[in-house]
Amino acid sequence: METQLLQPKVPTQDRGRARVEIIRKEALALLAHEEIDHISISGLAKKAGVGVGTFYHYYPSKEALVLDLRNLILKETAASLAEEFQQPVATKKEFVLLFQKLVNEWLTSLIEVKNLERAVWAYAFKNPDFALALRSQETGLQAMVKGILKTYQSSLRPADLDNVATTLVMWVDGTMSRVLRDESLIQDHQWLVEELTRMLGHYIFPDGAKT
């Protein structure tokens, strides 16, 4: 797939921004109940009250729409990280509990649109350009995590913070994907989140860190 087909057009006027917002809203509403392959562009455009041509003006493909919606979730996650960690916590326990809260919030938001995540994985496996665009999106979230870790660097295990931030995002993302593939975990995932954040605490903090 040509890379330009993965790039949504950013509206420059209020009317265009309003159209994009309603397309996003209706797409997420449909994805709450339907797989991406069962959603037609014409049906989505009708739900959003726009023409098919208008849809393609902003989104040259379904893949572009999926990337845009996934980017919204990543931006919301980054905003939550920035807000929650605005004031540094004092102990390892506080850090882990705060991280656990954020993972829960992220997972809850993804469960609501689990068909979006399934579309992301499917397109990423089939399309190397899509996978590259997805990786580029995640870079911003990893930079945010690195910034948070840098605040605590004197308390953490000696390590390359870029590698640690990348590992943390990959661990969390992998846990998300496992939960969303299993209906029983969707219903009862709290124990898994607790285990993940406990492991993350052991990974980034040295033995004997202030608890």
CB contact at 8 A, 107 and 73: no
The answer to the question of residue 211 being in a domain is: no
More confident residue, 166 or 154: 166
Whose CA is closest to 180, among 73, 68, 61? 73
pLDDT value at residue 56: 95
The answer to the question of residue 20 being in a domain is: yes
Give dist(CA 108, CA 112) in Å, integer. Answer: 7
CB contact at 8 A, 48 and 39: no
Query: pLDDT by residue (tens digit) across 64-75?
Result: 999 999 988 888
Which range scores top for mean pLDDT: 52-61, 66-75, 182-191? 52-61
The CATH number that applies at residue 40 is 1.10.357.10
The answer to the question of residue 209 being in a domain is: no
Which range scores top for mean pLDDT: 48-57, 121-130, 165-174, 188-197? 48-57
The answer to the question of residue 169 being in a domain is: yes
SS3 content of the chain, % helix, strand, coil (to 5): 80, 0, 20
* Structural domains of the chain, count: 1
Fill in the amino acid letter for 211.
T
Give dist(CA 137, CA 120) in Å, integer. Answer: 12
Tell me the residue range of the domain where 104 lies.
Answer: 3-204
Determine how many CB atoms are found less than 10 A away from the CB of residue 144: 21
